[in-house]
Amino acid sequence: MAEQEASGLQVLLRTLQSSSDKASILTILQVLGDLLSVGTDRRIHYMISKGGSEALLQTLVDTARTASPDYDILLPLFRLLAKVGLRDKKFGQKALELEALDVTLILTRKNLSHSHNLLHCLWVLRVFASSVTTGAMLGINGAMELLFKVITPYTRKHTQTIRAATEVLAALLKSKSNSRRAVNRGYVTSLLRLHQDWHSHDTFNTFVMIRRGLLLCLQHIATFRSGREAFLAAQGMETLFSITQNCLDNKGMEPVISVMLQILRQCYPESPLPLVTASSAYAFSVPGSIAAEPPPALSEEDFEDEGDEEVEKDSDSEDVKEEDDLETDVEKLSSKPGLDRPEEELMQYESMCLELSYSFEELESKSGDESNSEDSQYTNHHHIPIAASPKQHCLKKDQTSWGQEKEDTVQTSLLSTVKMGRSTVHLSSKKRPVMNIYHDMQSKGLGINSLGNDIPDIQTSPKEDAWDIEAISCPRMSAFFSNSTSPREAGEAIDKLLHIHPKHIPFHDPCLYMAKARRTRSVVDFKMVAFPDIWGHCPPPSAQSMLERKCGVQRIKILEDVQRFTQPSDVINKVIFSLDKPWPLQDTASSCLKFFSKFESGNLRKAIQVREFEYDLLINADVNSCQHQQWFYFKVSGMRADIPYRFNIINCEKPNSQFNYGMQPTLYSLKEALLGRPSWIRTGNEICYYKNHYRQRAAATGGASGKCYYTLTFVVTFPHDEDVCYLAYHYPYTYTALMTHLDLLGKSVNPRQVYFRQEVLCHTLGGNPCPLVTITAMPESSSTDHLEQFRHRPYQVITARVHPGESNASWVMKGTLEFLVSSDPVARLLRENFIFKIIPMLNPDGVINGNHRCSLRGEDLNRQWLSPQAHLQPTIYHAKGLLHYLCSIGRRPVVFCDFHGHSQKKNVFLYGCSVKETLWQAGCTVSASTLLEDVNYRTLPKILDKLAPAFTMSSCSFLVEKSRASTARVVVWREMGVSRSYTMESSYCGCNQGPYQGLQFGTSELEEMGAMFCLGLLILELKSISCSHQLLNQAATLLNAEDALDYHLQRRSSSSSNTSELDDEPACMEEIDYSTDSSMDQEGNFAELDRQIQECALNMDEEEEEEGAGRRTESIP
């Protein structure tokens, strides 16, 4: 049957080419038209494959070259050519070979006064012009000059033809040669005048598509430098800016507004960042390396070219964007390389595993009375990091015994929380309108702190005037420590402050923090400490909803940027803070804001006042680098309450951000903290993230555009006059906070029950100790059986914060650590059955110095796991060495997990490693008999998907990419043979599924995730074949008829499976596309052309029917 259809179609096409009979040709064209007007495009592609395009083009040439071309044949032929040509990728080349281009141009010239015939000619020219090659040829043959005879000033006649002409011209101008020709002949000015004329007369927006066509012509010309220069010279920026401002709120103008905005951004002159150098303001000389020369100053033509950022992958993300990146070499996927160091070197890690050799004789030597007297040294915080926890239990100075607090505290267990499900506090928060949470708190009463205790009002406190808010906000370390070694004298100043404004925060001690801060070593030797880090953070009482994006906000911000160019006199452009200039820049008498960032994890390089309440901010690149600008953390003061201040961070690097999808930056107010609300909260509105006009260039590229930058803009309305606030990309968590936290954790445990050992894995390049923590349960006694059980416990290895800007990973780690030392029954079971080796911060130097991604050498440490060197990447070298040591003594970890943060996706999810899934995704054939793989790598993420509200299985991936070959996840999987080797990613933003859907993550939710991860490890063990009967019995008792938890997990699983989860964010609804050739636009234009052709064909059929009826009427006698 198919052969008959093929032969029938071929017969029609051959007849069409050879026949000179008008009736036969018309009949064939009618049959082909009917055939292609129904069904899908498959029919058209089938016809193309049988030579349909060539047959139609040949018929066009033959018909047009007759002495008197017959338009009864040409018009349906033109419609068929346009329909088929849209789907034939080689249509332009075929037309060139058959000389159809010249024929069509000749017919167009002949029909300038016959609009109906001209319209059909233009449709075919539109298809020809879709190919750059044929478009260039049409330009050479005078097509543009011809089109300008059709495109007239405003008229109400032949508007369909004029619109078609503008669309043909726009398509032609995608050719560089045509655009250059248009510039040389002054068409830019002509197009601007035509657009102004149509815009001024088209008051009812009847001809928006003609105006859009003229703008598309300008947009394509502006793709090239000469076109932009001509546009600027013709005052195009001022013209379009004025038009856009006046019609921004007119929805009927949408097709025009979007193109005008693209032109304005496209033609905004590119410029270098307002920095003296692209490199970081901080430099560090790595021991043993040649000192780097000072970086050259930035200039317009001397910038580094990083390539096309539009195809650049998110460096934080492990998402697979291109299948070419998948590793398809089975040998590389399955091989287990040897040690990267001499085997004898591994013995140095024996001292880091003292739990395997320690005798624990003191367990028998101490009496109960003696142990009770020792217990008075320890304060056990039974704080379990659960987002649903109604209260925060915290360190009080009068608590003297872990046992006493245990009796006094009623703490909901983790299992109870899991069974109960989502906190009512958080559920209710979803119903609250989005507003400034500080104002929400104030409306409930200023005199109540986060724990519900009455406190004096800051405005009425008689001693409040004595405090210097500015001095308190970022105190010098020396202000709290004299030369005396007396702890009483050392903490006198801060104790006075704490006495007047008491606060209670779990595992936080301001005096201890200050002591630790003095020992933290930074590149530039920070002298100041940020107030939030000293004072501490209590999560706000409820989660915050994602910000609902206001329609049109991005366009407004872009127009305000353009206004700087069109009206430069309105711009203040005053530098008020800079790391590059040592002298003070801020005038104390000035009304502008004051900025500061020279403290741990701080990152603000420069602040420029643009308008009275608007500031451009530049964040510092990573030390010894000229890139990775994303993390920010800085102090701002001198504000007025209830005034919207706009902040523009203008040197961001990533092509997209969760700031476009509901995420807000975080803010900490000093006055709110002194009022008893020491909280980092999400803040800001009118938030958007978009490409700006700043570029990097390199002399080697000959001036070609290099790396683009992006602007994060947001508006903050501060809660108090003359407050001191801190703004950050995410909830900060400093290295000093970690060291303080670990000390307090160690003091909180009962040493006869919990084995908690903190030691130094190694020292960093900056001279800071990298902590290694071991947590397990003490053996019941020093008997042989108990010691044997103790020493044969499997290992779990967890690491975090290899990327300094991923502070969310530290909050998850905080939750893990606090849970593991807590009195929760699940934590006790975990300690009794596992030994946890935890490296909570793999990149202390980066965290301290405000880096986003790199070490002090300017390199990504999570790309150094293949061949780390002790003197260059010490933390990675020794972390890998410790893992090799555990494997060498037969103690391979059950699970290895590296905690990270993710900037472009929501929820929490895992990345793992699978040979089969990688090969299958890459399209390689995999033989199940020759390639065996344990599928248990999927078990833990499946458990977490059912267990943790923030976790989603749908975003997990188990593919191994070539570009990730040197990451911790892949190296530990390949070299150590740990099948459950994971990266756990936590969103900076929040959740779009499950109980937390529509909410941003707070620190409570992140800490909860850390605790849930631990519970997942226990359930993973319970599901394993090797699980001991003793653990199963203990777990059965603990779970109180295990079915209850199983039922809950099944319920969560079934409910979460119904949630539609988007792996990647959709395009922002008002995203500005700066590319010169959008395939989506092309598809849309072709669909519109199809519609016009179909509509025209129907109208002609109706006209023919009416004429036929009229003739029949006339023939009746």
pLDDT tens string 633-650: 999 999 999 999 999 999
Residue 84, pLDDT score:
93
Instruction: For residues 272 and 275, give the distance between their C-alpha atoms in angstroms, rounded to a whole number.
Output: 8
Transcribe 451-479 into DSSP letters: TS-B---TTT-TTGGG--HHHHHS-BGGG
89-93, 161-165, 851-855, 1027-1031: segment of lowest average pLDDT = 1027-1031
Contact 765, 287 (CB under 8 A): yes
Q: Choose, from 405, 672, 818, 985, the residue flagged as catalytic.
A: 985
Residue 479, pLDDT score:
60
- Most confident residue range from 409-413, 781-785, 1005-1009, 1019-1023: 1005-1009
Give the global pTM. 0.84
Three-state secondary-structure class, residue 299: strand
Residue 307, pLDDT score:
31
Residue 119, pLDDT score:
95
356-373 confidence digits (pLDDT tens)? 888 776 665 543 444 333
300-304, 519-523, 1083-1087, 1102-1106: segment of lowest average pLDDT = 300-304
881-891 average pLDDT score? 95
Q: Is the pLDDT of residue 411 over 80?
A: no
303-354 confidence digits (pLDDT tens)? 333 333 333 333 444 444 455 677 767 767 776 777 888 999 999 999 999 9
Per-residue confidence band for 700, with pLDDT thresholds at 50, 70 and 90? very low
Per-residue confidence band for 201, with pLDDT thresholds at 50, 70 and 90? very high
Q: Is the pLDDT of residue 426 over 70?
A: no
Q: Is the pLDDT of residue 184 over 80?
A: yes
Residue 941, pLDDT score:
97
**Separation of first and last alpha carbons in the chain:** 50
Q: Is the pLDDT of residue 699 over 50?
A: no
Structure-token pair, residue 310: 């539009």
* Cα 915 → chain centroid: 28
Instruction: For residues 185 and 197, give the distance between their C-alpha atoms in angstroms, rounded to a whole number.
Output: 20
Residue 298, pLDDT score:
42
The one-letter code for the residue type at 633 is Y
The rounded percent of the chain whose pLDDT value lies above 70 is 76
Residue 400, pLDDT score:
34
Three-state secondary-structure class, residue 602: coil
18-27, 411-420, 507-516, 863-872: segment of lowest average pLDDT = 411-420
Q: Is 985 a catalytic residue?
A: yes
- Most confident residue range from 240-254, 370-384, 504-518, 902-916: 902-916
238-247, 473-482, 543-552: segment of lowest average pLDDT = 473-482
- Most confident residue range from 294-303, 432-441, 1034-1043: 1034-1043
Q: Is the pLDDT of residue 194 over 90?
A: yes
Contact 527, 668 (CB under 8 A): no
405 HSE (CA, 13 A, CB side): 24
Instruction: For residues 550 and 687, give the distance between their C-alpha atoms in angstroms, rounded to a whole number.
Output: 9
Residue 360, pLDDT score:
75
Residue 482, pLDDT score:
47
Q: Who has greater pLDDT, 440 or 845?
A: 845
Residue 463, pLDDT score:
47
48-56 average pLDDT score? 92
Helix (H) or strand (E) holding 48: helix 42-49
Instruction: For residues 984 and 941, give the distance between their C-alpha atoms in angstroms, rounded to a whole number.
Output: 10
Q: Is the pLDDT of residue 1069 over 60?
A: no
Residue 1101, pLDDT score:
53
Q: Is the pLDDT of residue 908 over 50?
A: yes
Q: Is the pLDDT of residue 435 over 50?
A: no
947-964 confidence digits (pLDDT tens)? 999 999 999 999 999 889
Contact 131, 170 (CB under 8 A): no
379-390 confidence digits (pLDDT tens)? 444 455 556 443
Three-state secondary-structure class, residue 200: helix
Per-residue confidence band for 414, with pLDDT thresholds at 50, 70 and 90? confident
What average pLDDT does the chain have?
Answer: 81
663-692 average pLDDT score? 94
Q: Is the pLDDT of residue 229 over 90?
A: yes
Task: Encode 64-98 in three state secondary structure.
Answer: HCCCCCCHHHHHHHHHHHHHHHCCCCCHHHHHHHC
Transcribe 976-1030 into DSSP letters: S--SSEEEEEEESSBBSSSTTBTBB--HHHHHHHHHHHHHHHHHHHHHSTT--HH
Strand partners, 776: 755
The rounded percent of the chain whose pLDDT value lies above 90 is 59
Residue 885, pLDDT score:
96
List C-alpha distances in Å: 594 to 576, 621, 639, 670, 692: 7, 21, 8, 15, 25
311-325, 753-767, 930-944: segment of lowest average pLDDT = 311-325
Q: Is the pLDDT of residue 449 over 70?
A: no
Q: Is the pLDDT of residue 212 over 70?
A: yes
Q: How large is the angle between the packed helices 1003-1023 and 825-833, nearest 10 degrees?
A: 50
Residue 1012, pLDDT score:
96
898-904 average pLDDT score? 95
Residue 501, pLDDT score:
54
95-119 average pLDDT score? 94
Residue 551, pLDDT score:
82
Per-residue confidence band for 576, with pLDDT thresholds at 50, 70 and 90? very high
Per-residue confidence band for 139, with pLDDT thresholds at 50, 70 and 90? very high
Per-residue confidence band for 923, with pLDDT thresholds at 50, 70 and 90? confident
Per-residue confidence band for 437, with pLDDT thresholds at 50, 70 and 90? low
DSSP secondary-structure letter at 608? Answer: E
Residue 317, pLDDT score:
46
Residue 1027, pLDDT score:
84
190-203 average pLDDT score? 95
Residue 269, pLDDT score:
93
